[in-house]
Amino acid sequence: MLVIINGIETTVADTATIANLIKQLELTGRIAVELNKQIVPRSEFESRLIKDGDVIEIVHAIGGGQSTYNW
């Protein structure tokens, strides 16, 4: 099935959970996940199933003070 992760269309397995997805993307370190604009607590990564068409945001902390910066 197709989902949108951080704005990019991505193919994932039909019975994927958030945890599966993080593993597939080889993401390590501290992240937070939003599924269709709702936070998915870390404790639910293993159980939360992804559906076709879901919009997922995965974020982490970066350097920043005030406002947008052009890197």
Whole-number Å distance between alpha carbons of 70 and 57: 21
**What letter represents residue 38's amino acid?**
Q
Number of neighbours of residue 35 by Cβ within 10 angstroms: 20
Give least dist CB 14 to another protein, A.
Answer: 20
Give least dist CB 58 to another protein, A.
Answer: 5
32 binds another protein (CB under 8 A): yes
2, 39, 49, 55: which one contacts another protein (CB under 8 A)? 39
41 binds another protein (CB under 8 A): yes
